[in-house]
Amino acid sequence: MGYFRENIERAKGYEPGFQPKETDVVKLNTNENPYPPSPAVARAIRNISQEQVRRYPDPTGSVFREAAAQVNEVDPDYIICCNGGDELLKIALQAFCDENRPVAYPVPTYSLYPVLANLQNCGAIEVPFDSEFDLPDELARTGAALTIVCNPNAPTGSFVNVDELASLAGELAGVLLIDEAYVDFAQHNCAGLVKDFENVIILRSMSKSYSLAGIRFGYGIARPALIEGLMKVKDSYNVDSVAITAATAAIKDRNYFTETIEKVKAQRKRLTHQLRDLGFDVPESSANFVLARCTNNSAVELYDKLAKRNIYVRYFAYPKLEDKLRITVGTTEQNDKLISALKEILSE
Ligand SMILES: Cc1ncc(COP(=O)(O)O)c(C=O)c1O
């Protein structure tokens, strides 16, 4: 056609997990939380006034910034609100990267990073993880303007220790963005690093641990100087009033949050054992999904056979992932349906 910039013309775009229209399916393919959000969210949304909707939203989402600051033990000026964690990634690439300033990240990882790099028309330096998914030493030496480490990593569920990320932050000349979209399901997090390092940005998502994927809300934590720079790049009204209200109600309900996380972790443990009993190789996961290596069967065939039974998991045709299925941790009932279907398929 010739209308688009060359890199857009060439781009394939991000491929989101399949979103079936039917509701009577077992959907374990996009890492949503299987439990509903806090009841405080629905109450808060019901109480939104006509006046709040008539006006533009608060450009920085101050009520959420205050609530998130309290949870993360920082001041509100360390927080930036975003239209999903994905928007923070986009803002960071726009803020730090261009043709001469590449982004770097270990692979395999979240498949949105190369898509955003292409949109920004910057170089993307992909450094392979070793077989144990430890942080590769070369990551510190790429000279990238922005280095992204997804921790826990998607789709592996592996976790890099806080000390290692602190060392990396100290070695890098550029910015280190730690994508903690799944960190609430892990033992530790890196939020404390923003106090010691001026170049660290932490990404958080409200989609997974707070069950708000449909609302689109995420946030960043960093030193105020970095936050101010990121604010210049974001849309003026990047988070809407309904989203601010919902996300604030969710993050304030600490008891509900803790209960839900514990439920998901208990299901993760159970699912991991069930899959191992069926012969899958399943490493411990620090996220709300597991990555199961199919030892005697083709992963893509299993994926297809499950989909025919209305059970959706995720298959990635990427190096190191072709023999694996990423399975979101569901409720007891969903996980049991998956396990019985797998038993049936494996005995065919
Ligand atoms: C690794 C990773 N980072 C960030 C996100 C962004 O999540 P959201 O935009 O829903 O907050 C996701 C969502 O799937 C993810 O898997």
DSSP 189-226: --TTHHHH-TTEEEEEESSSTTS-TTT--EEEE--HHH
Going by CA atoms, what residue is nearest to atom 7 of ligand 1?
85
Identify the pLDDT of residue 177. Answer: 98
Mean pLDDT of the chain: 95
Q: Is residue 173 part of a domain?
A: yes
**Position 131 pLDDT exceeds 80:** no
* Beta-bridge partner residues of 177: 148, 201
Identify the pLDDT of residue 21. Answer: 80
* 66 CA from centroid of ligand 1 (Å): 22
Q: Which of 148, 207, 234 to mutate to test the pocket of ligand 1 (most atoms within 8 A of CB)?
A: 207
The answer to whether 339 and 313 have CB atoms below 8 angstroms apart is no
Q: Look at 139-148, 198-207, 247-256, 292-301 and tell me which has the smallest mean pLDDT.
A: 292-301
Which atom of ligand 1 approaches the CA of 109 most closely? 1
Q: What distance in Å separates the CA atoms of residue 260 and residue 38, rounded to the nearest whole number? A: 9
Q: Is residue 261 part of a domain?
A: yes
319 and 218 fall within a common domain: no
182 and 87 fall within a common domain: yes
**Position 64 pLDDT exceeds 90:** yes
273 and 219 fall within a common domain: no
**Position 297 pLDDT exceeds 90:** no
The answer to whether 199 and 172 have CB atoms below 8 angstroms apart is yes
Mean pLDDT throughout 15-30?
Answer: 85
333 and 262 fall within a common domain: yes
Q: Which of 110, 111, 180, 238 to mutate to test the pocket of ligand 1 (most atoms within 8 A of CB)?
A: 110
Q: Which CATH number do you get for residue 204?
A: 3.40.640.10
Q: Which CATH number do you get for residue 286?
A: 3.90.1150.10
* 181 CA from centroid of ligand 1 (Å): 6
* 42 CA from centroid of ligand 1 (Å): 23
Q: Is residue 71 part of a domain?
A: yes
285 and 181 fall within a common domain: no
* 205 CA from centroid of ligand 1 (Å): 6
**Position 11 pLDDT exceeds 90:** no
Q: For residue 144, what are its two tokens? A: 């990238």
249 and 262 fall within a common domain: no
Mean pLDDT throughout 114-129?
Answer: 96
231 and 315 fall within a common domain: no
82 and 190 fall within a common domain: yes
**Continuous H helices in the chain:** 6-10, 39-46, 50-54, 62-72, 85-96, 112-120, 162-171, 193-196, 224-233, 241-252, 254-277, 299-308, 332-346
**Position 24 pLDDT exceeds 90:** no
Going by CA atoms, what residue is nearest to atom 15 of ligand 1?
181
**Domain C-terminal end among 253, 272, 296:** 253
* 50 CA from centroid of ligand 1 (Å): 31
Burial class (CB in 10 A: 0-12, 13-18, 19+), 307: middle
> How many Cβ atoms sit within 10 Å of the Cβ of residue 148?
27
Q: For residue 251, what are its two tokens? A: 């993050």
Q: What residues does ligand 1 touch, defined as CB less than 6 Å away?
A: 31, 84-86, 110, 150, 154, 179, 181, 205, 207, 213, 218
* Beta-bridge partner residues of 104: 125, 147
- Collapse the DSSP code of 14 into the 3-class scheme (helix H, G, I; strand E, B; otherwise coil) and give the result: coil
Q: For residue 219, what are its two tokens? A: 């946030």
* 219 CA from centroid of ligand 1 (Å): 11
Q: Look at 130-134, 258-262, 324-328, 344-348 and tell me which has the smallest mean pLDDT.
A: 130-134
264 and 247 fall within a common domain: no
Identify the pLDDT of residue 247. Answer: 98
**Domain C-terminal end among 212, 235, 253:** 253
Mean pLDDT throughout 275-293?
Answer: 96
**Domain C-terminal end among 196, 218, 253:** 253
Q: What distance in Å separates the CA atoms of residue 271 and residue 267, rounded to the nearest whole number? A: 6
**298-335 residue pLDDT tens:** 999 999 999 999 999 999 988 889 999 999 999 999 99
| Structural domain total, the chain | 2
244 and 190 fall within a common domain: yes
**Position 18 pLDDT exceeds 80:** no
**Position 294 pLDDT exceeds 80:** yes
Domain range for 307 is: 6-36+255-346
**Position 141 pLDDT exceeds 80:** yes
241 and 314 fall within a common domain: no
Q: Is residue 296 part of a domain?
A: yes
Q: Which of 87, 158, 205, 239 to mutate to test the pocket of ligand 1 (most atoms within 8 A of CB)?
A: 205
* 342 CA from centroid of ligand 1 (Å): 28
Q: Is residue 1 part of a domain?
A: no
Mean pLDDT throughout 111-140?
Answer: 94
**215-265 residue pLDDT tens:** 999 999 999 999 999 999 999 999 999 999 999 999 999 999 999 999 999
270 and 172 fall within a common domain: no
The answer to whether 246 and 215 have CB atoms below 8 angstroms apart is yes
Report the share of the chain in percent with pLDDT over 70. Answer: 100
Q: Is residue 68 part of a domain?
A: yes
**74-117 residue pLDDT tens:** 999 999 999 999 999 999 999 999 999 999 999 999 999 999 99
